[in-house]
Amino acid sequence: MSQPEKAQLDQIRVVTPPGKEADPLATKEAVSYEEARQRELLADLTQDRVERKTYANRIFYLVTAWLAVILVILLLQGFKSYGFNLDNSVLITLIGTTTGSIVAIFILVTKYLFPYRQKQPDE
């Protein structure tokens, strides 16, 4: 359920005409609706938590693998192992662009997974 839909649902209130008691059936339905809404919200939050764990682990492994690859390239270049030789400008470009890409991916994923949320009045 999207945020605008949740906001619209939160605006629904049971209104009783002046001088009349609320219909017991309407009250029961409103309570039932509120319980269903709370269950949906809980399921949504639970799913978010599971997805955060999954993607947080994936981004960690991506950054770790990137660091390992950069370390291997630097070691091969530094010790001239296996005939590996890159021009300095190529090495700087390779490391700089991959670092920028990985940092951008990391920032995008973490901002999506852990968005800033203001406290709701009922929390």
Domain span including residue 44: 23-113
Q: Is residue 2 part of a domain?
A: no
Instruction: Tell me how far apart the alpha carbons of residues 109 and 19 are, in angstroms, rounded to a whole number.
Output: 54
Confidence (pLDDT) at 52: 86
Confidence (pLDDT) at 19: 57
Confidence (pLDDT) at 20: 65
Q: Is residue 40 part of a domain?
A: yes
Confidence (pLDDT) at 56: 85
Confidence (pLDDT) at 60: 87
Q: Is residue 84 part of a domain?
A: yes
Q: Is residue 121 part of a domain?
A: no
SS3 of 37, please?
Answer: helix
Q: Is residue 77 part of a domain?
A: yes
Confidence (pLDDT) at 51: 87
Confidence (pLDDT) at 115: 81
Confidence (pLDDT) at 85: 92
Per-residue pLDDT tens digits of the chain, which is 123 residues long: 667 767 766 776 666 565 567 678 888 888 899 999 999 999 988 988 898 889 888 988 988 999 899 999 999 999 998 899 999 999 999 999 998 998 898 898 888 888 877 766 555
Q: Is residue 80 part of a domain?
A: yes
Instruction: Tell me how far apart the alpha carbons of residues 93 and 87 are, in angstroms, rounded to a whole number.
Output: 10
